[in-house]
Structure 1
């Protein structure tokens, strides 16, 4: 089962996949890939396919490399499954960037669903979200994380354009990849222009009858090349 999340991005990401097996009345799920928008559908399909007599669901998250903030809805989905079925549900094995998201949310890394002991007494209840000072601080940290994720996505989308622009500069100046990168970065800083915009202008100018970059960019590129080339 796979998620179609983020197919609009130019960089192909690892779609979420969930492998499931059962041992008696216990279901063992192993997630791998990226838990982003659309991942709840994949998890929902995996849960729906489980036998009706399942009393425990253990989700191993060790194979998940990236967790978007929308992917946190999977925790609510698991909790709701446990509540409806009266089953004990756990999600463990968090590491890397997904682990950091849980830490910023102030969730227990060993039992983020807060169902470890409750399931033995009855259906699990959704985790309590407080409005304490600590919770507000976590919310502010999560906003910062959202910004970092958005910047990472933009960087991933821009990378192919930047690599092509470096190739154009290498051919034009006979320079190394590192020197081409320094020229781009320097021109971006001194012209106050986003790196991917400069890269796009360079690529467009390299095409037959392509338009030259605007004069401010040409000036910034000439100055940067003089700085970084022997």
Structure 2
């Protein structure tokens, strides 16, 4: 059994497909693609098609390659289904960017449903020391090398969080541009992504700007992409689809 949901963009299938297999009262689900807008609807359709008598649902998430905040809605729906039907639900094999999103959201990637259900507000931070307070003894202070390493790690994490937030914010327009290219050139989602990325590199234009130009140009009275970007798109299409 396979389920897929439709998005508002030209009625095309979204980026998530769920394969389901039922054996001896256990449902094994294998989502493939992206947890983006519409993924909770895909999940609801799959769960709604399961036969009566299911007492356990296992999801293999290794086929999920990207998720944004809609992925958290996916988990909420999954957890609510398990509670409502008194079914044990487990997810496993979170990898790559989806696993990182779970970590940023404060969820245990090995058991995100359980950690979400038991999350509590973090304890309040201790008050900042008074400027006039004496410095701690040298023996209680971390070594300078350790402090430097921690500071560098903190900077890396801040940069990574910023990149992930930018990627999540940019995703809708990129998905729309992929849909336009798929409809225009009868290509696959991966080929559409490769075209956008190559056009971005050839024209030295940010990927989000390329996607926005493609989407705007698809509208009836929308402006065409700039000449340099138009040439880059033509080159990328010819290269990827020839």
Q: Structures share a fold, TM > 0.5?
A: yes
Aligned to 1:223: none
Aligned to 2:50: 50
Separation in 2, partners of 1:155, 1:15: 12
Greater Rg over alpha carbons, structure:
1
- Tell me if structure 2 keeps the 8 A contact 1:13–1:34: no
Shift of 1:145: 3.1
Shift of 1:34: 1.2
**Alpha carbons of structure 1 residues 151 and 56: separation in structure 2 relative to 1, 3 Å:** same
Q: Is 1:146 aligned to 2:165, yes or no? A: yes
Separation in 2, partners of 1:131, 1:46: 33
Separation in 2, partners of 1:102, 1:44: 21
Aligned to 1:16: 16
Deviation string, structure 1 residues 148-193 (Cα, Å, up to 9, x no partner): 22235556767999xxxxxxxxxxxxxxxx9x967x54xx89xxxx
**Alpha carbons of structure 1 residues 142 and 114: separation in structure 2 relative to 1, 3 Å:** farther
Provide the aligned length of Structure 1 versus Structure 2: 165
Q: Is 1:40 aligned to 2:40, yes or no? A: yes
SS of residue in 1 equivalent to 2:9: coil
Q: Which structure 2 segments of 5+ residues have no match?
A: 125-156, 182-197, 214-223, 232-242
Q: Output the aligned Cα RMSD.
A: 4.0
Q: Is 1:127 aligned to 2:117, yes or no? A: yes
**Alpha carbons of structure 1 residues 91 and 5: separation in structure 2 relative to 1, 3 Å:** farther
Shift of 1:130: 2.9
Q: Which of 4, 10, 23 pairs up with 1:2?
A: 4
TM-score by length of 1: 0.57
Q: Which structure 1 segments of 5+ residues have no match?
A: 116-125, 162-177, 207-230
Separation in 1, partners of 2:105, 2:7: 22
Q: Is 1:103 aligned to 2:103, yes or no? A: yes
Moved more, 142-151 or 59-68: 142-151
- Tell me if structure 2 keeps the 8 A contact 1:105–1:142: no
**Alpha carbons of structure 1 residues 131 and 22: separation in structure 2 relative to 1, 3 Å:** same
TM-score by length of 2: 0.55
Aligned to 1:200: 225
